[in-house]
Amino acid sequence: MDATTIGSLLVGVGAVVGGLVAYLGKRSENALTGYSSLTDNLQEERDRLDAKVSELNAKLAEQSSLRAADQAEITRLRALVISLGGQP
């Protein structure tokens, strides 16, 4: 084997190794891009759900205050019925 043949083989091996490295690098890049996309989607979904939970908590607080007002009105009316001589 002369130097030209060895040089050609080394260039060929270098090209194969370079292609393999590029392929693996691209796979890793695609995996990271997919992971980043998934993470972004999960964060957006979490933010939407947090907003929905906050909205539901506000509605629950409103309903709770209305219930408390209703209970106070029921108590007032029972006291009025008793003071007028009736059965509650």
Measured distance CA(39)–CA(47) in Å, rounded? 12
Residue 56 lies in a domain: yes
Residue 30 lies in a domain: yes
Is the pTM for the entire model greater than 0.85? no
Residue 54 lies in a domain: yes
Domain tally, the chain: 1
Alpha-carbon dihedral sign for residues 12, 15, 21, 23: negative
Range of the domain at 74: 26-88
pLDDT, tens digit (0-9, with 9 covering 90-100), for 35-64: 788 888 899 999 999 999 999 999 999 999
Residue 51 lies in a domain: yes
Name the residue with tokens 């907003």.
51
Residue 17 lies in a domain: no
Residue 34 lies in a domain: yes
